Amino acid sequence: MADLSTDLIFGLVIVAVAAIAIIMFWRASGPSNKNKEPEAKPDDAQKEDPLKVELQMTERKVKVPPLEKKIATVEVEKARSQIRTLTLKQEINSMVLRRLFEAEDEEEISREERVRLGKNYEDEMKQIAEELKRSEMLISLAELETIREEIVQKFEESLSQTQSRIDLILKELKIPEPPKTAEEEKPKLPIGAKRRRLTTKTKTGELEEEVEEPTGQEGEEKQPTGKQDVESRLEQLKKEVMKELDELDKLELEN
């Protein structure tokens, strides 16, 4: 029994020494507070993404030439009110004409009487149909102009973001903007303008001075053609904008 207790105590001592050695080794080889990397701060996160910060500072708005509205809000409200009134008149006239046909079928009136009585109502129905069509077209025009404004606004936002990124990349690459040439800075005469030559004589008739002045008569006459060109270009631009917006939506859906 004495030998057994001695062996048991000796074994417990060995286990305790081994446990202490393991704990000391783990503390010596474990990560220390000095070797820990500092946690990233919000400022560090911003520094890691200078492109986004710089973009917010250098973003600039790109504006599309303003498109004039052809119909005012007051006219739209008036057209909606007319649609309600004209629809009611149309229903009333339809009821009258239907009653006249029923009276003819029941032989209360003759066909000639039905035609004579219903002529005014039929003429009024045609006029109501034309006015209804015009009012509906005015409302459709207003809705299309509103949609156009939304499209232009979305296009301006996309174009502004794209242009800002282009400017930022050009700045990072240090690519200078092309300098303006002397021909671009020189003021140009209107299209179609001609010079008129004036001759001035002195009292003695010895000296003559020639002065050239621009005349803008022909340029003014050709302004309507230029206006038509601008309108056609705007129409083409709107088509291109719609196409670009469709492609942007497809890219967003794919991403």
**How much is the pTM?**
0.44
Delimit the domains of the chain by residue range.
Answer: 54-177
Q: Which two tokens stand for residue 28?
A: 């010596």
Kindly report, residue by residue over 27-86, the tens digit of the pLDDT.
Answer: 776 554 444 444 545 454 444 454 444 444 456 677 777 778 888 888 989 999 999 999
Are 76 and 143 in contact by the 8 Å Cβ rule? The answer is: no
Kindly report, residue by residue over 6-16, the tens digit of the pLDDT.
Answer: 666 767 767 77
Helix, strand, coil in percent for the chain, rounding step 5: 70, 5, 25
Kindly report, residue by residue over 121-135, the tens digit of the pLDDT.
Answer: 999 999 999 999 999
